[in-house]
Amino acid sequence: MKVWNLNDLYHGFDDVYEKDLKSLEDKMDDLKNYILYQKQENDQQYIEGYLKREEEIVKLSRSLAAFASLTMATDVNHEIAPKYMAKLQQIFRKVTAEQVIFQRYLASVDLDKVKEHSHIIRQYLYQLKKDQEDAKHMLSEKEEVLYAKMREFASSGWSQLHSITTANLGVDYEGKEITLSEIRNMAYENDKDVRKKAYEAELKAYEKIEDQVAFALSNIKREVTTMNELRGYESALSKTLGQSNMTKETLDAMISAMLEYRPYFAKYLKTKAKYLGHEKALPFYDMFAPVGNLSKTYTYEDAQMIIKDAFYGFSKRLGDFATKAFDHEWIDVYPKKGKRGGAFCSNQPQIKQSRIMSNFTGSLSDVLTLAHELGHGYHGEVISNNEPLHWSYPMPLAETASIFCEKIVNDYLLKSLKNDEEVLSVLENSLQGDTQVIIDILSRYIFESKLFENANGPINKKQMKEWMVEAQKEAYTDGLDHEILHPYMWLNKGHYYSAGLNFYNFPYAFGLLFGKGLYATYLKDPDKFLMNYDHLLELTTKTSVEEVAKSMQIDVTSKDFWIASLEQVKKDIDDVIALFKKQ
């Protein structure tokens, strides 16, 4: 079955897991007592003591939480894992009030003065200053504790409802019940009738769960809006930008460039529609239709060989990483009932490993998705050498290495092809992905903005479907057939269902366009690029998006950078349209 092996985390929810859980509780109690009772006579020593305790907590808690969450990802009906996730939330909640006390204290400290004689404070200075800024948005100790408790059975519960409901959704396809992941993967089938029937079956299946999932999403966004108002944030977007270590100037420059390039994507989609025999624009169900003459279905073994060859062509370290991931059972490969849809990578720097979940069915897109997730894993390997409180990167930079690795594999495939029809297959498949990450992401950004504009009251399923269709029309313009869109895209995208991560859409566009900009730099001077690339990945956990980009002499606040990246996509659009017309 090619399932992942979690034994390097734990062998089960056994005595070892319980012992570590108790150790975590003890460490949290120690931190709590330290904040409450340690005298603050020396700011430097007091902050150092806090940071060292936090480092130990991060090392242990990552393994405990990962084992429970990864277990649930491949078995949403697991009886024990959710109980341990709840237990971990309770343990962390125990120090909520004390964390507020520490953060408020930190806001009064002159960190530039304190850092002079402290290596550890200098290491974490950027994050400490962010904590000072965040202190302005904190509620009272009692209110923060109350919210932490309530969140477990409010937004966290609604999020879990979405995961369980979609993972267990049976889809009736020609008299046979299959999973949501399987029906969505049929969008890549060669047979046009299969694609259309699968799309219709998918939409029909959503009718069974649309009420409860819409209710969940409405309540999550209402909770976020309520809490942001109480904390004094201007908007959910402003909070997300802060979490992303990114300025509004950068976001505006990127979105402006994306809007400007919509007509080129529309032209590509209309040309594809004509190629497939549609009189109008492209129907949604044919967006992922394979074209050209590369009807190959890839085995998992094929995918491994392609990815390893491509990665070794970039660098030995990247190739060795992929080999390690494949050989040591870090990947859970195939779809099954009760397994979450989609794909993700969970980095575990505390054990210098990662775990990757896919729902591999053999399409070219599945191969590229696997390369994408391995890119996340490589990013995790690089930052595993960072300090423990520098093991997490912000959302926009999370896609840097993954997009880069996807591009490496795509270019590798293109070089191996012999004729125009094969080139069209691979190049257009890549363009499908770019269209999703630029234009569909734009629709998701527009839709979520609309959600938050109306999140002071209940939002029903009818409104959600209408807003999603409106957002698709605005983003895709006349490239898609307005009579055949996808009104349920809010239901199958898990990114909407986290109260802590809002607008988890534009970071993908950032990642793609930033990655393409980096790839262009790589092609100009591969040797020089390789000397700096890992350093750039290391920096992603330590400073702002803008400063990370500057390490490669890139200005992401300038629209010109985003235009230059989009011009690379436009070249692919021109090439694909020319190949379409040759057929």
Average pLDDT in the 405-423 region?
89
Average pLDDT in the 276-298 region?
91
Average pLDDT in the 199-205 region?
97
Domain range for 517 is 234-294+417-583
**So what's the pLDDT on residue 419?**
87
Q: Which of residues 152, 171, 186 is at a domain's end? A: 152
pLDDT class of 70 with cuts at 50, 70, 90? very high
Give me 545's structure tokens. Answer: 């998006």
Measured distance CA(405)–CA(579) in Å, rounded: 25
Q: How many CB atoms lie within 10 A of CB 399?
A: 25
**So what's the pLDDT on residue 100?**
92
Residues 99 and 248 in one domain: no
Q: Which of residues 152, 184, 199 is at a domain's end? A: 152
Crossing angle of helices 400-415 and 364-383, rounded to 10°: 140
CATH number at residue 245: 1.10.1370.20
104-114 per-position pLDDT tens digit: 999 999 999 99
Query: Which amino acid appears at position 250 of this protein?
Result: T
Q: Is it the case that residue 378 has pLDDT exceeding 90?
A: yes
510-563 per-position pLDDT tens digit: 999 998 989 888 988 999 999 999 999 999 999 999 999 999 999 999 999 999
Q: Is it the case that residue 291 has pLDDT exceeding 80?
A: yes
Q: Which of 253-262, 278-287, 516-525 has the lowest mean pLDDT?
A: 516-525
**So what's the pLDDT on residue 364?**
85
What is the H or E stretch that residue 357 is in?
A: strand 353-357
CATH number at residue 49: 1.20.140.70
Cβ(456)–Cβ(428) below 8 Å: no
Residue 179 domain-assigned (yes or no): no
Q: Which of residues 131, 152, 173 is at a domain's end? A: 152
Measured distance CA(360)–CA(343) in Å, rounded: 9
Cβ(84)–Cβ(47) below 8 Å: no
Give me 267's structure tokens. Answer: 């032209």
Residue 350 domain-assigned (yes or no): no
Q: Which of 334, 340, 336 is nearest to 167 (CA)?
A: 340
Q: Which of 297, 280, 273, 287 is nearest to 199 (CA)?
A: 287
Burial of residue 320 (number of CB atoms within 10 Å: 0-12, 13-18, 19+): middle
Residue 382 domain-assigned (yes or no): no
Measured distance CA(556)–CA(404) in Å, rounded: 17
Measured distance CA(567)–CA(563) in Å, rounded: 6
Residues 31 and 122 in one domain: yes
Residues 465 and 571 in one domain: yes
Compare 4 and 297 and report the one with higher pLDDT.
Answer: 4
> Which residues lie closer than 8 Å to 435 by C-beta, 6 or more apart?
265, 268, 269, 287
**So what's the pLDDT on residue 104?**
93
Q: Is it the case that residue 297 has pLDDT exceeding 90?
A: no
**So what's the pLDDT on residue 293?**
83
Give me 397's structure tokens. Answer: 């930079």
Q: Is it the case that residue 406 has pLDDT exceeding 80?
A: yes
Residues 453 and 581 in one domain: yes
Indicate the number of domains in the chain: 2
**So what's the pLDDT on residue 295?**
67
Residues 128 and 272 in one domain: no
500-513 per-position pLDDT tens digit: 999 999 999 999 99
Q: Is it the case that residue 294 has pLDDT exceeding 80?
A: no
Tell me the pTM: 0.87
- Three-state SS at 355: strand
- Concatenated DSSP letters for 142-181? HHHHHHHHHHHTTHHHHHHHHHHHHHT-EEEETTEEEEHH
Pairing of strands 170-173, 176-179: antiparallel
Residue 339 domain-assigned (yes or no): no
Residue 116 domain-assigned (yes or no): yes
Average pLDDT in the 213-240 region?
97
Residues 29 and 146 in one domain: yes
- Three-state SS at 354: strand
Compare 252 and 429 and report the one with higher pLDDT.
Answer: 252
**So what's the pLDDT on residue 88?**
96
79-115 per-position pLDDT tens digit: 999 999 999 999 998 899 999 999 999 999 999 999 9
Average pLDDT in the 427-455 region?
96
7-60 per-position pLDDT tens digit: 999 999 999 999 999 999 999 999 999 999 998 889 999 999 999 999 999 999
Residue 73 domain-assigned (yes or no): yes
Cβ(302)–Cβ(364) below 8 Å: no
Residues 470 and 569 in one domain: yes
Residue 557 domain-assigned (yes or no): yes
Average pLDDT in the 441-469 region?
97
Residues 551 and 458 in one domain: yes
Residues 285 and 422 in one domain: yes
Average pLDDT in the 137-165 region?
92
Residues 138 and 249 in one domain: no
Residue 177 domain-assigned (yes or no): no
pLDDT class of 183 with cuts at 50, 70, 90? very high
